[in-house]
Amino acid sequence: MFSNNHFKYFCIRQKALIVTFLSLSFFSCKKEKTTAKTDYSKFSKNILDYRITPKHALDKSGLMFSDQGAWFAYSLPDSINITEDFSGPFLLTEQNGVWSSSSLSPIRLTIGDHPVYIKKENIIKQSSYSSHLEQELDLNGVSLKESLFFLNGNTALIKYEFTNKEEYPFTVSYYWENQDLMINNLKIKPIGNALEIKSNKTDAIGHILFPKNTVVKSSDSSFVSNFMHLELPPNETKSFVISHTFIFPEYSWVDEQRLIESVDFDSVLNARKLEKTNQLKSLIESRKPQFQDDKYAEVLAKAHLTLQNNWRVQLERLNMKVYFQVTTINGLTDFGLGTHGNMLLDYRIMICVWLKNK
């Protein structure tokens, strides 16, 4: 189901968006039609290209994934090395949107006695859906699957899932260490197994929660955790979860932390997948008979995900009015949500405008 705010924005613009997006130039030539057994989630898979490793704080050369009205977003790295995990977060609370880091909490690995230097050839796959981001890496006998989804508008959860593909055991050693932040107005403070991130530009406070046996040390702009070890028997899988939270004073960090520590990652992610699938199913099954080819379903999936990425939870203290905005210059159109003429997050697409009599 849609949340109330999301449903309001979606319903107001649904008819206009569908009419507009159906006039796009289509890149798919599929002629399949949806059936009762259709997997509707496939229409959102990689429908927007979220791959970017930001080179600087204001790098806008790629798209960012957001959900549940969060004021921060992530991407999939387009070049993988030891310093990178999911790209971001991109903070919409800062200067109309900046990258906090190329990767704020990248994990560092040693398998057996060998440090892991992750390269592009280690990538098995990278995938994005309307529900989550994921990537899978082959680390010479051990596979690592990383998944990220938004628990709510305040928190994103990241799961690391290690699988031993060999017939002998592995010891996986790991820790977290970031490079310096991309903006100097953020300051990092360690608190036990957590980091607190404050800004002189906004009163939204960031929190990163690591597993309970983690100890974190930091300077103002970088941090490193202690080494931890995971015994991985043959053909077994083990996992752990960390969280990123960027929360405003309207919401309780104490309550949020209790929620984070109580949820089951897989159960909530499966519920989110079902939620997004049902939304896509509702849109796609409502098409008129002449729009039954899969290419039209893909356009609706792109429209659905674009709205999702542009929705933000309301901030009562700001008495902020958020508007749906469309600007067109030389045939290029920006769709997005913004405040007082400032676009918070937008996607540029080519629109074909048809005359009324056609």
Task: Give the tens place of pLDDT for each residue, 52-87.
Answer: 999 999 999 999 999 999 999 999 998 766 557 899
Burial label, 121 (beta-carbon count in 10 A; 0-12, 13-18, 19+): exposed
- Return the SS3 of 74: strand
- Average pLDDT across the chain, whole number: 82
Helices 4-21 and 294-310 cross at an angle (nearest 10°) of 140
pLDDT of the residue at 314: 79
pLDDT of the residue at 16: 42
Q: Is 297 within a domain?
A: no
Length reported for the chain: 358
Cβ 57 vs Cβ 43: under 8 Å = no
pLDDT of the residue at 276: 96
Q: Is 37 within a domain?
A: yes
Helices 265-285 and 294-310 cross at an angle (nearest 10°) of 130
Decide which of 199 and 326 is more confident: 199
Q: Is residue 328's pLDDT more than 70? A: no
Residue of 114, 97, 42, 51 whose CA lies nearest to 77: 51
Q: Is residue 170's pLDDT more than 70? A: yes
Q: Is 43 within a domain?
A: yes
Q: Is 242 within a domain?
A: yes
Q: Tell me, yes or no, if the pTM score tops 0.95.
A: no
Q: What's the total number of domains in the chain? A: 1
**Beta-bridge partners for 155:** 245
Cα(123)–Cα(148) distance, rounded to whole angstroms? 17
pLDDT of the residue at 179: 76
Q: What domain range includes position 57?
A: 27-287
Q: Is 56 within a domain?
A: yes
Cα(110)–Cα(223) distance, rounded to whole angstroms? 19
* Paired tokens of 145: 């699957």
End-to-end CA, the chain: 37
The enclosing domain of 151 has a CATH number of 2.70.98.50
Please compute the mean of the pLDDT values over residues 129-136 and round it to a whole number. 97
Q: Is 312 within a domain?
A: no
For Cα atoms 144, 66, 244, give the angle at the middle one, nearest 5 degrees: 60
